[in-house]
Amino acid sequence: MTSTTARPPVPPFTPRSAAEKVRLAEDGWNSRDPQKVALAYSADSRWRNRAEFVTGRDAIVAFLTRKWARELDYRLVKELWAHSEDRIAVRFAYEWHDDAGQWYRSYGNENWEFAADGLMRARHACINDLPIRESDRLYHWPLGRRPDDHPGLTELGL
């Protein structure tokens, strides 16, 4: 799996380009396609996700494959928190259920660092899982990309 193509928007980020980068990341993760998602990261990208450390695209694909095999009917919303020239901070919440049917809303923050070509070279994620009742779910769109008219985290009070 290789990619030598830039992934716009590229640094230095503006408020608009940072928000666009966040939405593109959300769209990618909502595809639940590990191969596709991994192409947004540099070949040597380093992650900390919860207490797991991942390095490189092959490890990212393996991680995401395990994640989405366990986190069923996954739907994610990300929101820009802050940015600098080559870094973006986001907050997010996603809903999913396990194979026993228990629903969760997972809340978190991520810090991203980008190379000049727009590929993410570092990702640090802190995530907490809150068990919820199915009736408390807020994300009901069909699996895949969140519709443009669906409320974001701020509008949902999250």
DSSP letter at 50 equals T
**CATH number for the domain harbouring residue 90:** 3.10.450.50
- Specify the pLDDT at position 20: 98
Going by pLDDT thresholds of 50, 70 and 90, the confidence category of residue 2 is very low
Q: For the chain, what is the domain count? A: 1
List pLDDT tens digits, range 8-54: 999 999 999 999 999 999 999 999 999 999 999 999 999 999 999 99
Is 10 among the domain residues? no
Residue 86 is part of which domain span? 15-136
> What is the phi-psi region of residue 91: left when phi exceeds 0, alpha when psi lies from -120 to 50, beta otherwise?
beta
Is 123 among the domain residues? yes
Is 7 among the domain residues? no
DSSP letter at 136 equals G
Is 28 among the domain residues? yes
Between CA 129 and CA 112 the distance in angstroms is 21
What does the block give as tokens for 142? 């069909």
